[in-house]
Amino acid sequence: MDNLHPAADAVNDALAIDWAARRGPWPAKCTHAPPAAVSRVPENVPVQPSAAEQAAADARWNAARAAEAAKAAPLAQAGARVSYLAKGQKVATDIEFEGNMIDIFEGRTPDEFTADDLPPALALYADLEAQRTGFDPTILLTCAVSVAAGAIADQIQITPYYGNDYYQQARLFAVMLGVSAASKSPAFNKMMKPLVDIQMEMLKAWRKAVDATPEGEDKPPRPVLVVNDTTTEALAKALLHNERGVIVTTDEFTGFFGSMDAYKSGGAGGKDRGEWLKAYDGGFKSIERSKDGGSIQVPNWSASILSCTTPAALGKIAKHLYADGFMQRFNVYYVQPQRIVRASSLSAEQQQATEDARRKYGKLIRGLFALVPASHGGVCAFAPDALVFFDDWRTRNNATQIVYDGLHPGYGSHRGKGPNFLLRIALTFHCVDVVANGVHPDPAQNLVSLATLKLAAQYVEKSFRHAEAFYLGELGASEALELSRRIGRHILAEGPQTFVKRRDFLRDIPAFAKAEEPLRASALRSLEELGWLVPVDVGYRKQGATTWAVDPRAWAMFADIAKGERERVTEAKKLMTSAFKARRQEKAAK
């Protein structure tokens, strides 16, 4: 890969020989243009689908959606429609609850990732290693995705639409959140090892090239792929001759934040944060230095970030994690403590299978590193049915973002980056499939399939559930969301009911009674937007609705919370009754 870094050629040549033995000829090397030149409409764009082909793709997607809806029918139709007779009306009005109810409650442990959330070739080693060591599968699987993305050169891109500048690369920001017993660093290092090995091999080849350089000639630039500790100034030097981008790994996220000038001065700065924001997007960067009058022209200011920390450590910097867009670019993953696994409980076959999977994982990462962005300017395109899926998913995600913008701006901003997350994960999974399936080693020669995009969407949706726990739990909810939660818990505690009234909230929920009217209105409006309530016209309105129909699915979806709330209310009533009896007995004794 001549223009990505000279020292990488030794590694790539060996991989090319291996590829030829397994899959056939390796494509001729090509000179890669800088990202700024790549990010335009390729001249040899794949043929776009005709109207008939697009209609057929639409029909297939609609059929798939209908099949998925049929599977969910028992839950969706279990009282998903209610009727009421408004004052002065003779005919009942039907209310249908469409879409999903959104979970508003904090402290609910997000689902752990499983091997089914990743392409099999990428998930195998992580899954077996989790069984062997007791590591939480989430940290191994999500680290595997970040490592795979970090191995892919930035010159390989993805776009859903040709003809505009909407391009994404496989560049990810991720942080693992778990207690010390989660053994985050050991798990982290296991998954990073293939990239570290590639870097060490490139450095060895580079040292030989430096020693062989005749005196007086320019020495080859030092290759950089993995960075453990850096400043933005040092990063500029590392990226000067490494256009494919680097991956920054640190086992303490709060230390990484603390190194930024924006947080050294309590948020007064912002220079470093801005530089890392730019690194997430990539592209050309010119750095002018006022001290020595020099300048650096970085062809591709690009870095992935993979880090970890504990909830306690994160709490110390929580006040600095405002919705400036930097933290919102990170996917946060909750990691559970390591389980104890006795070596004697694993058979020799299991141990050997894990070792074989480890070697295959290393080979996969090397294959991703060696992918050649030759055709179509290195830009991967969607299959027609995948494009239909992407548009539908993007529309639904935007609707969810709008709801959360008013409840928690930080999480709303994070959801707003969902399409970019999906494209980056889809590109990573697509490249994994290209390497694992032995097809042409240029990803742009193969369309991104609907199956790949659906798997990427499944991964991103699960990531969102981890992000919800982080933003709505660790960082705290807004007053409106907290009041919405109190109302929701009250509704669940009361048991299945068709309607709820504002006057009941005023009587039974002290926080609602004490709140100012704008806050009450915001909380109720949020429950409407989140799919819990629908206003009902009963002939009497104050400044807003006074009666609402409740989505009947609430008690099935949040059965655990409903049970807990009923038990809490029952226990509270028992305590009040006991206290009342004790007081009466005291008075009688006097």
CA quadruple 443, 447, 451, 457: dihedral positive or negative? positive
Distance CA 557, CA 552 (A): 9
Q: For 577, what's the count of Cα atoms within 13 Å in the CB-facing half-sphere?
A: 6
Q: What is the pLDDT of residues 324-368, one digit of tens each?
A: 688 899 999 999 888 877 666 778 888 899 999 999 999 999 999
Q: In what order do the strands lie in the sheet with 547-550?
A: 499-501, 547-550, 533-535
Q: What is the pLDDT of residues 148-196, one digit of tens each?
A: 999 999 999 999 987 677 899 999 999 998 877 667 888 889 999 999 9
CA quadruple 432, 438, 440, 441: dihedral positive or negative? positive
Q: What is the pLDDT of residues 96-129, one digit of tens each?
A: 666 667 777 765 668 889 999 999 999 999 999 9
Whose CA is closest to 490, among 459, 522, 475, 512?
Answer: 512
CB-count burial class (<10 Å; 0-12, 13-18, 19+) for 406? middle
Whose CA is closest to 442, among 3, 24, 11?
Answer: 24
Q: What is the pLDDT of residues 286-325, one digit of tens each?
A: 877 645 556 788 889 999 999 988 877 776 776 666 656 8
User: What integer pLDDT is reported at residue 368 of this predicted model?
Assistant: 94
Residue at token pair 């109302």: 487
Q: In what order do the strands lie in the sheet with 157-158?
A: 168-169, 157-158, 379-380
Q: For 282, what's the count of Cα atoms within 13 Å in the CB-facing half-sphere?
A: 30
Domains in the chain, CATH or no CATH each: 8-17+103-474 (3.40.50), 479-589 (1.10.10)
Share of the chain above pLDDT 70, in %: 74
- In the chain, which residues have pLDDT < 70? 1-100, 106-109, 163, 181-182, 258-270, 289-294, 315, 318-324, 342-344, 439-441, 476-477, 538-543
The two tokens of residue 298 are: 């970085």
DSSP 3-state assignment of 380?
strand
